[in-house]
Amino acid sequence: AGLATGTTPIGLYACLVDDCAQGKISFADVTTFNLDEYRGLDPEHDQSYRYFMKKHLFDHVDIDQARTHVPEARTPMPRPCAQPTNRPLKRRAHRFAAARLGPNGHIGFNEPEDTFPKATHCVDLTESTIQANSRLFDRVEDVPRQAYTMGIGTIMAARSVLVVVEGSHKAEIVKKAFFGPVTPEVPASILQFHPDAPSLSIRQRVRCASKGRLGSDGRGIRVRRHRHRRRALRGCRPAGHCGDGG
């Protein structure tokens, strides 16, 4: 399974923890690969994604933590950063990947670029991402300027991709990602080519002006599959839309 971080999936992980505690599900045979990690943060730093996953999921379910994988944040040079995370990824495609939708359309830390990067790579975070994440740090200056992220090609190889969205402020980017043109300037738009990529909207209502409503009414979670768009794109091959990555 590929897993996302950030404030958006916290509620989702709380539901999984509760289901595991009730014996409805088990993580005993699950292997996880996180989509991303800030470059340079110690795993014990309270804003590292290893710390996040332990706090919100790993320490509360019956998972073998030796089978949990988060990109190594302290790799000294950008170029080798793909090596430790890509070795296990090459052995199997994910059955399932959860990805949060960023305000600028990023999934993982795949920021808007000229191409869709295939492989795990180092990325320079955009100013909008730095500002959006600064609320979690004491000062904006403390937000790392680089991150390691699973590439678009690896995410697209998952059998199923769940896109998690929270907040009415993301209505416009939802519209662009799921109903606009497929472009690396909106990285999540590539998921329109995926055969199984529903969206999950939680907590606050998310409206798309031209395509009705995505989201919950405050009483639960709504999942919407964008079949109308997928039918129009049937037969297209996402691999042809990926760049070489970093």
Q: What is the C-alpha separation between 224 and 167, in angstroms, rounded?
A: 16
Structure tokens at 227: 């079949």
What whole-number distance in Å separates Cα of residue 65 and Cα of residue 31?
9
111 is catalytic: yes
170 CB-side CA count, 13 A: 29
* SS3 per residue for 160-213: EEEEEEECHHHHHHHHHHHHCCCECCEHHHHHHHCCCCCEEEECCCEEECCCEE
Catalytic residue among 37, 69, 94, 104: 104
Has 106 been annotated as catalytic? yes
DSSP 8-state symbol, 107: B
104 is catalytic: yes
CB atoms within 10 A of CB 123: 25
**Strand bridging mode 146-149 / 32-34:** unpaired
Angle between helices 10-21 and 49-56 (to 10 degrees): 40
The strand pair at 212-214 and 206-208 is best described as antiparallel
Q: Which of 56, 69, 106, 121 is catalytic?
A: 106
Report d(CA 211, CA 67) in Å as an integer: 40
Given 69, 111, 133, 226, the catalytic residue: 111
Active-site residue list: 36, 104, 106, 111
